[in-house]
Amino acid sequence: MYGLLGEHLSHSFSPQIHKALGNDQYTLFEVSPENLESFLMEKKFKGINVTIPYKKAVMSFLDEISPEAEKIGAVNTVVVRDGKLCGFNTDYFGFQYMVIQTGVSVSGKKVLVLGSGGASVTAVAVLQDLGANVVVISRSGVNNYDNLYLHKDATVIVNATPVGMYPNAGVSPVDLDLFPALECVLDIVYNPARTKLLLDAEKRRITNANGLSMLVAQAKEAAEWFTGTTISEDVIETIM
């Protein structure tokens, strides 16, 4: 059995995506924080994806972690191999695909990443590898929502928080009027497809994208870890 591990998963499109990838055994595992360890130790699955809020938390229970996931500090795919829990990060490929698909180059540009959780660290790793000057905005860090005026020269904003996600749609993490040089807005949220942040970007004719392409791309790579087979990248656009 395969599936998605998280705390609240009513918004998830993952079962439909993995079914399109040929996996009919994919389900949702809603697990409370106090039951996370027992769920993992029971190993009643062959492979799982991991989402909010467990991308970092699962790492302490794994037997093996890929170098990429170790470097990023987050795991979003776990596979059982010879009785061992092995962790990977396919979000890297997913987010990289999302950025490249916009056609906007981030090299040498100031990029604000909103949030400091598991999704944020992956986004930061990808953006830095693509040559961006990354600034992480968090609630309590040196760079926070109270001093956004220090970064009005940002040309790209990435929302790596759940703000605006169903069922709490209609809210945005930032006011885009603060950033006159903005060229691109990326939101990892994919439900709703057009968050308030992205609708605000559309009004300003700013290039934007939601997280669906990232979700499908990371699922493709996760499916490859699950099955040990290679899946054509062309399938991503087909599913979307």
58 vs 30: CA distance, rounded Å: 14
Question: Whose CA is closest to 218, among 27, 9, 13, 33?
Answer: 13
- The DSSP string of 131-195 is T-EEEEEBSSSSSBTT-GGGGTT-SEEEE-S-TT-TTS-S--SS-GGG-TT--EEEE---SSSS-
**55 flagged as catalytic:** yes
* Residue spans of beta strands (DSSP E) within the chain: 2-6, 26-30, 47-50, 64-65, 77-81, 84-88, 110-114, 133-137, 156-159, 184-187, 207-209
Q: Are 97 and 123 in contact (CB under 8 A)?
A: no
Query: What does the angle CA 60 – CA 61 – CA 62 come to, to the nearest 5 degrees?
Result: 100
Q: Which of 19, 55, 56, 203 is catalytic?
A: 55
Active-site residue numbers? Answer: 55
